[in-house]
């Protein structure tokens, strides 16, 4: 193959004799660094150069300085790179693999074919987090650059944040612009809007109109920002115990509708006809005729959502009701977007027909920026399912399919290959449900919806819905002091949906907090907005009081509760499901062993960490130093506690092994083997390693929970690992758990609410012995 043939970067690099560093720069930036340009007097270079045309501009230079400069080498490379960058040579692949070997060892990437330890993009240590994110971003950028460009637009790579500047669709900007389109094509929407405008009531029966057209007074806003919330409780048939909280006294408690149908939701066309078909998979033959389109759970959830109240539902289960809930909030979000866009398009037509010179405030129907709905999900597979649901809800039938731009590219980047997953990988059912499909956790995508079309990869400022992961949002929001950062597109978010919030505790919760601090802030730039169309609530910087937040989680956790209590300001109030577990996960322990719960007395929440550590090294660890107490597994939920214990064990020269989410595969195998054979007396194990790997640790005879697990079912899973031990006597097995009064929620999930009340009432260290299966 010649120099200027179609061989790509590798052939050009090999022909020019580039070093490994030069090849890497060529691979990353498409050209060689100018520093490595070679100045020579070869004839072939001087024939191409045309410096004589610009000789007048350099007449002031001396004759000795006027030399014919050859064309830089990277200009030659451009001619080859623009042809056909197909496959790279084997030499370059080997070199690139050797360069990235050090990075891949410490990286917890997000590829579906890798082990979960390398899948989830976990960040735990402040020093380790940036490096990990940078590696993940570089890998994603290389994949994006190597993929087929379906629409003829190249994906560009921006490594200033260590993240990709993802592909955005700029071809369909005018087709999906709200400012230049009208409602003419959907007469039904216009008729509905005219009926609403002609009604004699102050507000229509549509909850969307009631919520968005409500004009708060300054006294009410001041009251919400200064006074505490008042709460009341009520029990619903399916959701159970609900807590309603609000600052405004006139807000009353919702009651479940005995008869609930599609018409009560005031769904926009065509959702009223497509929803029963899309939701049919979740309906049972015993569904009541009064509400044939909803499950009992969906009926009660949508009753709260449709009232535009904030909602916290901590009983989401990936195995049972996960998809059921996803369909419910997708319906609500899409209904909101269609109504908002229909209002804008209808007012566009009215303004077009308006007589010149007449001004009116009746057309204030927008925010400061276009994005209305922000969906936060943990993995690309979740985003894929959401988009599929949205498409299904918009397609009336097989003959009337909507036009979806960039659909092929979306499936390629967010889909997964089932063959990539190892066939012999045996994991619990909940693990398979959570980690199904593409589990990359660094992504963001804008979705624009206009009448009968959907645009994927829309620029954020032209999007109606943004679907992203916390890490994907963090890399675009940036940090204070960075030059390239943007969060103006979050200024007018009207609906925030955070799904599977518990998984973010296993990723990096700081990303969620960072997002909440930058949502509904006044934008730094106008971004071409027509201020005559902007709602007064946005101009007054009151958007956060109108934003509806829907929070779904598999558990109740203080950090998740804090998001709901401190970052939700909806004037209509908040609704939280507060069911207490009657039976804990300890009932699912199948091995016979005593469970000893030892209470830690801490003065306040901030001192719990140090108090627990001191209690462990003074009271618990000395009991296990004896050689008789070998094969002791110490389960540590917090990575910071794990590092602290690991350093202490090293300082005390204890015989131990340790496994965390960052441990290499070889280190994991060695630690498991040494612990099984008794060569190591202790094994430190982090909770996030168990979350992402679910390995069965064999050889456990003594178990210590340094802190109660985040997921209650992890308690029974770890305890049941003892039955995998071939040797040993049941009577010698022990289980010790450390807890404090601040662990009430976790404790109740493990032992049940009745035992928790008894244990917390005691003011001294409690030794509670629980033996037997299903005790």
Kindly state the tokens that stand for 632. Answer: 């002791």
Those residues whose C-beta lies under 8 Å from the C-beta of residue 35, and which sit 6 or more positions away, are: none
Q: Report the distance separating Cα 677 and Cα 169, nearest Å.
A: 58
Model confidence at 601: pLDDT above 60: yes
CA-to-CA dists, residue 504 to 17, 149, 471, 574, 715, angstroms: 47, 32, 10, 22, 20
Residue 507, sorted as left (phi over 0), alpha (psi -120 to 50) or beta, turns out to be: alpha
Confidence of residue 363 (pLDDT cuts 50, 70, 90): confident
Q: Specify the pLDDT at position 616.
A: 96
| C-beta atoms surrounding 751 within 10 Å | 28
Q: Specify the pLDDT at position 764.
A: 61
In the block, residue with structure tokens 């965390």: 660
Mean pLDDT value across residues 175-180 = 69
In the block, residue with structure tokens 């456990």: 700
In the block, residue with structure tokens 């036009």: 403
Q: Specify the pLDDT at position 774.
A: 42
| C-beta atoms surrounding 144 within 10 Å | 18
Model confidence at 134: pLDDT above 70: no
Q: Strands across the sheet with 702-705, in order?
A: 656-659, 682-686, 632-636, 702-705, 734-739, 595-599, 768-770
Kindly state the tokens that stand for 331. Answer: 């319906």
Mean pLDDT value across residues 441-467 = 93
Mean pLDDT value across residues 596-622 = 93
Q: Report the distance separating Cα 672 and Cα 699, nearest Å.
A: 9
Model confidence at 373: pLDDT above 70: yes
Separation of CA 501 from chain center: 8
Which range (1-5, 142-146, 709-713, 747-751) has the least confidence?
142-146
Q: Specify the pLDDT at position 284.
A: 79
Q: Specify the pLDDT at position 165.
A: 53
E strand map for 164-239: 230-236
> Helix (H, G, I), strand (E, B), or coil: what is residue 768?
strand
In the block, residue with structure tokens 């197909």: 86
Confidence of residue 14 (pLDDT cuts 50, 70, 90): low
Those residues whose C-beta lies under 8 Å from the C-beta of residue 127, and which sit 6 or more positions away, are: none
In the block, residue with structure tokens 């509904």: 520
Residue 270: cis peptide before it, omega within 30 degrees of 0: yes
Q: Report the distance separating Cα 101 and Cα 103, nearest Å.
A: 5
In the block, residue with structure tokens 């090999």: 14
Q: Specify the pLDDT at position 483.
A: 86
CA-to-CA dists, residue 155 to 150, 158, 168, 487, angstroms: 11, 10, 8, 21
Model confidence at 25: pLDDT above 80: no
Please, how many CA atoms are within 13 Å of residue 742, restricted to the half-sphere of its CB?
15
Closest listed residue to residue 696, CA positions, set 683, 708, 707, 706: 683
Nearest 10 degrees: CA dihedral of 227, 228, 232, 233?
A: 150
Model confidence at 385: pLDDT above 70: yes
Confidence of residue 359 (pLDDT cuts 50, 70, 90): low
Which range (349-353, 579-583, 597-601) has the least confidence?
349-353
Model confidence at 59: pLDDT above 50: no
Which range (168-182, 298-312, 708-722) has the least confidence?
168-182
C-beta separation of 84 from 8 below 8 A = yes
Beta strand 453-456 with 444-450: parallel, antiparallel or unpaired? antiparallel
Separation of CA 246 from chain center: 28
Residue 8, sorted as left (phi over 0), alpha (psi -120 to 50) or beta, turns out to be: left
Model confidence at 96: pLDDT above 90: no
Give the chain's mean pLDDT.
78
Closest listed residue to residue 192, CA positions, set 212, 209, 214, 215: 209
> Helix (H, G, I), strand (E, B), or coil: what is residue 375?
strand
Q: Report the distance separating Cα 427 and Cα 436, nearest Å.
A: 12
Sign of the four-CA dihedral 418, 421, 422, 428: negative
Three-state SS string over 579-619 comes to: CCCCCCHHHHCCCCCCEEEEECCCCCHHHHHHHHHHHHHHH
Mean pLDDT value across residues 72-77 = 46
H-helix or E-strand spanning residue 456:
strand 453-456
Model confidence at 292: pLDDT above 60: yes
The count of residues in the chain is 775
Residue-wise pLDDT for 224-257, tens only, equals 988 888 999 999 999 999 999 998 866 566 777 7
Mean pLDDT value across residues 703-716 = 96
Mean pLDDT value across residues 292-306 = 92
Q: Specify the pLDDT at position 369.
A: 95
Confidence of residue 145 (pLDDT cuts 50, 70, 90): very low
Q: What is the DSSP string of 554-577?
A: SS--HHHHHHHHHS---TT-EEEE
Q: Report the distance separating Cα 498 and Cα 377, nearest Å.
A: 6
Those residues whose C-beta lies under 8 Å from the C-beta of residue 461, and which sit 6 or more positions away, are: 369, 370, 371, 488, 489, 527
Please, how many CA atoms are within 13 Å of residue 151, restricted to the half-sphere of its CB?
19
Higher pLDDT, 315 or 418: 315
Q: Specify the pLDDT at position 24.
A: 64
DSSP state of 546: T
Kindly state the tokens that stand for 182. Answer: 């009208």
In the chain, what percentage of residues exceed pLDDT 90? Answer: 53
Q: Specify the pLDDT at position 759.
A: 86
Those residues whose C-beta lies under 8 Å from the C-beta of residue 212, and which sit 6 or more positions away, are: 340, 494, 535, 546
pTM recorded for the entire structure: 0.77
Confidence of residue 396 (pLDDT cuts 50, 70, 90): confident
The per-residue b/e assignment along 60-89, b for 16 or more CB within 10 angstroms, e otherwise, is eeeeeeeeeebebbbebbeebbeeebeebe
Residue-wise pLDDT for 514-535, tens only, equals 999 999 999 999 988 989 899 9
Q: Report the distance separating Cα 682 and Cα 616, nearest Å.
A: 14
Model confidence at 45: pLDDT above 90: no
Q: Specify the pLDDT at position 170.
A: 73
Exposed, middle or buried by CB within 10 Å (0-12, 13-18, 19+), for 439?
buried
Q: Report the distance separating Cα 491 and Cα 153, nearest Å.
A: 29
Mean pLDDT value across residues 77-102 = 41
Closest listed residue to residue 672, CA positions, set 637, 619, 633: 633
Q: Specify the pLDDT at position 738.
A: 95
Q: Specify the pLDDT at position 582.
A: 86
Higher pLDDT, 65 or 502: 502
Q: Specify the pLDDT at position 352.
A: 81
C-beta separation of 609 from 774 below 8 A = no
Those residues whose C-beta lies under 8 Å from the C-beta of residue 703, and which sit 6 or more positions away, are: 632, 633, 635, 718, 719, 722, 733, 734, 735, 736
Q: Specify the pLDDT at position 626.
A: 83
Mean pLDDT value across residues 673-688 = 96
Q: Specify the pLDDT at position 727.
A: 53
CA-to-CA dists, residue 699 to 219, 334, 628, 677, 724, angstroms: 65, 52, 14, 8, 7
Q: Specify the pLDDT at position 538.
A: 93
Higher pLDDT, 106 or 628: 628
> Helix (H, G, I), strand (E, B), or coil: what is residue 634?
strand
Residue-wise pLDDT for 542-586, tens only, equals 999 999 999 999 999 999 999 999 999 999 999 999 999 988 999
C-beta separation of 494 from 402 below 8 A = no
Kindly state the tokens that stand for 731. Answer: 């009577």
Give the residues across from 550 on adjacent strands.
Answer: 311, 497
Those residues whose C-beta lies under 8 Å from the C-beta of residue 408, and which sit 6 or more positions away, are: 150
Residue-wise pLDDT for 640-679, tens only, equals 999 999 999 999 999 999 999 999 999 999 999 999 999 9
Q: Specify the pLDDT at position 289.
A: 56
Model confidence at 102: pLDDT above 70: no
Separation of CA 736 from chain center: 34
Q: Specify the pLDDT at position 104.
A: 38
Higher pLDDT, 684 or 173: 684
Mean pLDDT value across residues 81-105 = 40
Those residues whose C-beta lies under 8 Å from the C-beta of residue 577, and which sit 6 or more positions away, are: 239, 240, 241, 242, 312, 313, 314, 315
């Amino acid at each position: 193959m010649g120099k200027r043939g179609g061989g790509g970067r590798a052939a050009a690099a090999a022909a020019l004799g580039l070093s490994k560093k030069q090849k890497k720069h060529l691979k990353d930036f498409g050209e060689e660094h100018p520093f490595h340009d070679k100045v020579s007097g070869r004839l072939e270079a001087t024939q191409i150069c045309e410096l004589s045309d610009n000789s007048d501009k350099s007449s002031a230079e001396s004759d000795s300085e006027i030399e014919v400069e050859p064309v830089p080498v990277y200009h030659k490379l451009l001619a080859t790179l623009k042809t056909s960058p197909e496959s790279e040579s084997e030499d370059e692949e080997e070199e690139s693999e050797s360069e990235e070997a050090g990075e891949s060892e410490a990286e917890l990437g997000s590829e579906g074919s890798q082990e979960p330890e390398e899948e989830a993009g976990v960040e735990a240590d402040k020093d380790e987090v940036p490096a990990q994110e940078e590696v993940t971003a570089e890998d994603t950028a290389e994949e994006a650059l190597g993929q087929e460009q379906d629409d003829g637009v190249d994906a560009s790579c921006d490594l200033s944040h260590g993240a990709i500047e993802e592909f955005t669709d700029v071809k369909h900007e005018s087709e999906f612009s709200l400012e230049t389109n009208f409602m003419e094509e959907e007469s039904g929407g216009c008729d509905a809007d005219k009926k609403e405008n002609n009604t004699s009531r102050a507000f229509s029966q549509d909850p969307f109109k009631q919520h968005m057209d409500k004009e708060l007074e300054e006294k009410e806003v001041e009251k919400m920002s200064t006074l505490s919330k008042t709460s009341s409780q009520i029990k619903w048939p399916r959701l159970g115990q609900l807590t309603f909280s609000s600052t405004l006294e006139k807000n009353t408690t919702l009651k479940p509708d005995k008869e609930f149908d599609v018409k009560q939701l005031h769904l926009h066309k065509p959702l009223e006809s497509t929803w029963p078909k899309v939701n049919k998979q979740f309906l049972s033959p015993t569904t009541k005729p009064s509400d044939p389109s909803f499950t009992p759970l969906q009926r009660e959830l949508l009753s709260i959502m449709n009232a535009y109240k904030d909602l916290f539902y901590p009983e989401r289960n990936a195995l049972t009701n996960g998809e059921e809930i996803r369909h419910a909030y997708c319906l609500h979000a899409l209904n909101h977007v269609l109504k908002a866009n229909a209002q804008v398009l209808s007012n566009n037509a009215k303004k077009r027909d308006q007589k010149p010179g007449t001004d009116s405030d009746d057309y204030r129907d927008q925010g400061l920026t276009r994005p209305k709905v922000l969906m936060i999900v943990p993995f690309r597979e979740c985003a894929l399912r959401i988009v599929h649901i949205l498409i299904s809800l918009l397609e009336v039938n097989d003959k009337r399919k909507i036009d979806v731009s960039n659909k092929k590219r979306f499936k390629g980047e967010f889909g997964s290959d089932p063959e990539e997953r190892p066939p012999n990988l045996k994991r619990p059912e909940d693990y398979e449900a959570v980690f199904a499909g593409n589990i990359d956790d660094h992504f963001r995508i804008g979705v624009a919806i206009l009448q009968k079309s959907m645009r994927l990869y829309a620029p954020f400022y032209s999007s109606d819905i943004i679907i992203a992961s916390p890490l994907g949002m963090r890399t675009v929001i940036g940090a204070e002091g960075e030059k390239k950062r943007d969060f103006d597109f979050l200024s007018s978010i009207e609906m925030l949906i955070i799904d599977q919030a518990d998984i973010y505790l296993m990723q990096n919760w700081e990303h969620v907090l960072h997002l909440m601090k930058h949502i509904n802030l006044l934008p730094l730039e106008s971004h071409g907005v027509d201020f005559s169309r902007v709602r007064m609530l946005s101009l007054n910087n009151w958007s956060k009081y109108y934003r509806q937040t829907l929070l779904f989680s598999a558990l109740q956790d203080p950090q998740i509760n804090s998001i709901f209590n401190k970052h939700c300001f909806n004037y209509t109030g908040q609704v939280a499901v507060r069911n207490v577990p009657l039976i804990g996960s300890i009932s699912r322990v199948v091995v016979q062993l005593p469970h000893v719960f030892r209470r830690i007395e801490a003065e306040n929440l901030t001192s719990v960490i140090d108090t627990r550590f001191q209690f462990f090294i003074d009271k618990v660890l000395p009991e296990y130093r004896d050689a008789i107490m070998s094969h002791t597994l110490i389960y540590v939920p917090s990575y910071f506690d794990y590092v602290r214990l690991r350093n202490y064990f090293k300082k005390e020269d204890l015989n131990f092994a340790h496994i965390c989410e960052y441990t290499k595969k070889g280190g994991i195998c060695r630690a498991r083997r040494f612990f099984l054979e008794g060569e190591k007396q202790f094994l430190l194990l982090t909770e996030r390693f168990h979350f992402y790997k679910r390995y069965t640790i064999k050889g456990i005879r003594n178990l210590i929970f340094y802190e109660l697990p985040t997921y209650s079912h992890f308690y029974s899973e770890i305890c049941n690992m003892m039955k995998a031990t071939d040797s040993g006597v049941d009577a010698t097995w022990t289980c010790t758990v450390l807890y404090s009064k601040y662990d009430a929620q976790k404790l109740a999930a493990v032992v049940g609410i009745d035992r928790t009340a008894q244990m917390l009432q005691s003011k001294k260290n409690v030794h509670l012995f629980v033996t037997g299966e299903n005790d």
